[in-house]
Amino acid sequence: MNKSSGAFVNGAEAYGRFLEVFIDGHWWVVGDALENIGKTTKRLGANAYPYLYGGGGSAGLKGSSPEVSGYANPTKSVEKRFKD
């Protein structure tokens, strides 16, 4: 009888294993959530304050008005679009 363990010891071991997996899983989930929140915050910050993140110019958000950016030239006025 080298290793004599009863129901209490076996139950405590099982509970310990469960708790270990439970805590480890929560650390994993919380770590992933914090990483994603950090990346999103950095992206939003770079859009709102481009001069802080190495960007230049005064336009923070990409894809501003076509008239300002010059990528697209509107062919008719806004009022006429809704009257067609």
Per-residue pLDDT tens for 11-68?
Answer: 888 888 988 888 888 888 999 999 999 998 888 888 888 777 766 555 445 556 655 6
pTM to 2 decimals?
0.43
Backbone φ, ψ for residue 51 (5° rounding): -70, -20
Q: What is the DSSP letter of 11?
A: H
Delimit the domains of the chain by residue range: 1-52
Residue type, 50: P
- Please tell me the distance from the alpha carbon of residue 63 to that of residue 81, in angstroms, as a whole number: 21
- Please tell me the distance from the alpha carbon of residue 49 to that of residue 39, in angstroms, as a whole number: 15
How far the first Cα of the chain sits from its last, in Å, is: 93
